Amino acid sequence: MTRRISLNLSTPPEVLAELARDEDWIVRRRVAGNLSIPPEVLAELSRDENHYVRRNVALNLSTPPEILTQLSRDKDYGTRHFIAGNPSTPVEVLLILMVDDDRGVREAAERALSKRVQCTHQSGG
């Protein structure tokens, strides 16, 4: 039941904040992926010990750029890979990820930057 509540976009923010401290990492991971989660809870989950939780913060389209910037230095390559794919990630962070130690992260950052350049050209900007 708790796992289902953590995914529900109608779950009140105070309940999500409580679930973000659940001992079950799967509950925390699901909360981290909830688009209705308050930014301060995302900030808390971005420091979670479990890399799957941090990866969901990186994937969440509601994650603010400053949290994505912080997570771009995460020790887990998968988290950095997902940061590169998040459209809210600042261009400066993508440029840094393009020289990451992990090839997959570099390639993801390159694709994301290329996609943004294409969109800029298509929109005439």
b vs e for 52-88, b when ≥16 Cβ sit within 10 Å of the residue's Cβ?
A: ebbbbbbbbeebeeebbebbbebebebbbbbbbebee
Distance CA 46, CA 53 (A): 7
Distance CA 116, CA 93 (A): 13
Average pLDDT for the chain: 92
Number of compact structural domains in the chain: 1
Region 61-73 average pLDDT: 98
Q: What is the pLDDT of residues 69-110, one digit of tens each?
A: 999 999 999 999 999 999 999 999 999 999 999 999 999 999
User: 63: domain range?
Assistant: 2-122
Strand ranges (E), 3-101: none
- Is residue 125 scored above 60 in pLDDT? no
What CATH number should be reported for the domain holding residue 20?
1.25.10.10
Distance CA 88, CA 116 (A): 11
Identify whether the C-beta of residue 83 lies closer than 8 Å to the C-beta of residue 60.
no
**Model pTM?**
0.89
What's the confidence (pLDDT) of residue 28? 97
Distance CA 35, CA 91 (A): 22
